[in-house]
Structures are given as C-alpha cells and as structure tokens.
Amino acid sequence: MPYTFFGIQVLFTVGADDVRPRLHQAIAAGGGELEQSLADKRAFWKRLTAVALAGAPRFDLGFWDYVDDPARAELEFDRWSSELEGQTATETDEVGAAPDEAYRLSAKPDYVALTVLFLLEKGGNSDATIAERCDLPEAEWWKRDSFRLLFEAIPSLSFSSVKADAVYLIPGNAQDGLSFDDVHGGGWEYLHQLS
C-alpha cells in the first residue's frame, strides 16, 4: 500500500507554566511501544495536541513537511525517526532525574523541541485531512498560526488509516531544556523562525 508522510517539529520557549511537564506526562501515559486500540490512540493524540496547543503562543522555531510521493514517504518517516532516536533519551536508563549539563553548551534551558510524525495511507481519510490542512500559500508556511492549524488537525485523524506514528520530546526529562546556544550553535539550522 502506498503512503504519505507528515511531520512537524516545533521548538517552543520554556515558560513559567506547566506545559513542559504536561507534555512529558502525556507522552509517558501513552504507553510507549505497547499495542493501543484505535480509541486509545485517538485519546493519546487528543491529550498531546491539547497540551502542545497550550504552548502555541511560545512556538518560536519550526519545520513541517508533507510528502505525498509514496516512493519517499516511508524513507522520510524512517529518516526523521532514526535521527530523533539518536538524539533523544528514550530508554529509562538514559533519562536522568535532573538536567544533564555535561551535554549542553549552556545550562540555561530556553527551549523544548516537540516532534510528531505520521505515515498515512495515501488517499485515506487521514491523508485527505492532512493534505487539505497543508495546502497553505508559501507565505503562510512559517507562521505560528499555521503550526497551530497543523496541530489542530491531528485529533481529527482516522487512526485506522495511519500506518505509523511517533512523538519525540527533546530533552528527555521534564526539568531540562535546550539553551539558545544549543539551538543556534549547530544542528538545528533547518528550522525557520516563526512569526
């Protein structure tokens, strides 16, 4: 079966509210790699999207992509996943109880990176929903409101037509963050400043 790919990555500034720990809680409550029913999956993505949208006013940098070429869609999903797996603490032994300052250029936690990925059945309900939402004029691609609209589409996905999905939150604990120097010092150059 042919597929399409949809992915969003957004870096939002850390605020005084509880968005960062709530994102970690929502992901942890999702059950990880365990088999989920379609209702469980919908509930997970609704919770996660609601928390992400609470942080939308602080979306600062971002990137999104929709690939409707079946020859590239699975490769794109795998590429994003493998790159994020490599830089994200995903196993219990990797996640510390406190910020790990040894691996950051600066100890000031300014940003958190949230990435969501979907591999959709080409032509299915979910693909049609995302294709319509991604049909934006180029001048709107890097607007904060456009990212909000893209996230708002996630709860309306029909998960029976989603082959794979993934979520990554960097860094891997609820207290840590990426510093301005971490983000602007290299490795994140593909992100666009959101307005």
Task: Put the strands of the sheet holding 3-13 in their side by side order.
Answer: 162-170, 111-121, 3-13, 59-67, 192-193
CA 129 vs. chain centroid, Å, equals: 18
What does the pLDDT average to over 40-55? 95
Does position 109 have pLDDT exceeding 90, yes or no? no
**Cα-only R_g, the chain:** 16
**What pLDDT, on the 0 to 100 scale, is given for residue 60?**
95
pTM score: 0.88
**Average pLDDT in the chain:** 87
Please state, in angstroms and rounded to a whole number, the distance separating the CA atoms of residues 126 and 73.
14
pLDDT digits (tens, 9 = 90+) for 8-44: 999 999 877 788 888 988 998 876 655 778 899 999 9
**What pLDDT, on the 0 to 100 scale, is given for residue 44?**
95
Q: Is 17 exposed, middle or buried (0-12, 13-18, 19+ CB in 10 A)?
A: exposed
- Say if residues 171 and 99 touch (Cβ distance below 8 Å): yes
Higher pLDDT, 64 or 85: 64
**What pLDDT, on the 0 to 100 scale, is given for residue 92?**
53
- Tell me phi and psi for residue 178, to 5 degrees: -95, 140
Name 18's Cβ contacts closer than 8 Å, sequence gap at least 6: none
Please state, in angstroms and rounded to a whole number, the distance separating the CA atoms of residues 64 and 51.
19
DSSP letters spanning 107-141:
S---EEEEEEEEEEETTSHHHHHHHHHH---GGGT
How far are the Cα atoms of 35, 50, 92, 137, 168 from residue 23, in angstroms, in the given order?
Answer: 21, 10, 17, 30, 10
- Lowest model confidence (mean pLDDT) among 4-8, 24-28, 106-110, 135-139: 106-110
N-to-C CA span, the chain: 38
**What pLDDT, on the 0 to 100 scale, is given for residue 176?**
74
**What pLDDT, on the 0 to 100 scale, is given for residue 181?**
84
Does position 106 have pLDDT exceeding 60, yes or no? no
Please state, in angstroms and rounded to a whole number, the distance separating the CA atoms of residues 87 and 133.
29
Does position 98 have pLDDT exceeding 90, yes or no? no
Does position 99 have pLDDT exceeding 50, yes or no? no
Does position 102 have pLDDT exceeding 50, yes or no? no
